Amino acid sequence: MRVMIAEDSGLIREMLAELLGRHGFEVTGLAGSKDELLRLVEQQPPDAVVLDIRLPPGYSDEGLQAAEAIRASHPEVGLLVLSAYAETSHAVRLLGNDAGGVGYLVKDRVQDPARLVEAIRRVAAGEVVVDPEVVHRVMSKRRAVDPLDRLTESEQQVLALVAEGMSNAAVAERLNYSLKTVEKRVTAITRKLDLPHADTGGRSDVNVRVLAVLTYLRSANPG
């Protein structure tokens, strides 16, 4: 799998490149800024890009800007954005185009190679990955009007794991449910949150799951 890395720290870039190389990835480009990354992707689009949320020149949201530009020109490229802090607004923005193949992780996860490698493989496969810390912040923040109140406790548990990027099979294993039970819970979630089913409107199962995750995240970020 071909991967590019965008990180302003040369030391961290090299560490990531070395780590991913040891896990079988082909690192085809290293960038230190948004513009450099976009040039590399345009020249030879990879299967996935791992990028810091803050890049030169402004060190604000250049990583998100780069992710949005790559998604617009090369929608097949998986995008994994790394951030020093868990911000629900950033996760919502990243997922805002109702598409799979994106992920948002807190940088501390880089210290767990298995977690990082799994996240890259998932976004490259078109799945969605959201950091568990973001999910926890959503669950712990109560609001006057909360769409999650429509869900039962077990449905909220299922949605929380879906938001982390788990498949139905993985959710079933984590909660000790049958796969059929999880599928019923997911169907109930999409119905209660007024989301379209996968077989309506030409939407794929991945896109319906992204819509569910967006509803989940936006419940903590109503603006």
Separation CA 37–CA 40 (nearest Å): 5
SS3 68: helix
87 and 147 both lie in a single domain: no
* pLDDT score of 200: 46
223 found inside a domain: no
Q: Which residue is associated with the tokens 């990835």?
A: 25
* pLDDT score of 1: 95
74 and 178 both lie in a single domain: no
Of the residues 130, 154, 177, the one at which a domain ends: 130
Separation CA 191–CA 196 (nearest Å): 8
Of the residues 98, 130, 162, the one at which a domain ends: 130
From first to last of its 223 residues, what are the pLDDT tens digits of the chain?
999 999 998 898 999 999 999 999 999 999 999 999 999 999 999 999 999 998 988 888 899 999 999 999 999 999 999 988 767 677 777 776 556 788 888 887 677 888 899 999 989 998 888 887 776 665 555 455 567 788 898 998 888 888 777 888 989 999 999 999 999 998 888 888 877 655 444 444 555 566 666 666 666 554 4
DSSP the chain: -EEEEE-S-HHHHHHHHHHHHHTT-EEEEEESSHHHHHHHHHHS--SEEEEESS-TTTSSSHHHHHHHHHHHH-TTSEEEEEESS--HHHHHHHHTTS-SSEEEEEGGGGG-HHHHHHHHHHHHTT-EEE-HHHHHHHHH---SS-GGGGS-HHHHHHHHHHHTT--HHHHHHHHT--HHHHHHHHHHHHHHTTPPPTTSTT--HHHHHHHHHHHHHHTT---
* pLDDT score of 25: 97
Q: What is the pTM of this model?
A: 0.69
75 and 170 both lie in a single domain: no
* CATH code of the domain in which 96 resides: 3.40.50.2300
196 and 175 both lie in a single domain: yes
CA distance from start to end of the chain: 37
* CATH code of the domain in which 142 resides: 1.10.10.10
Provide the domain limits for residue 9: 2-130
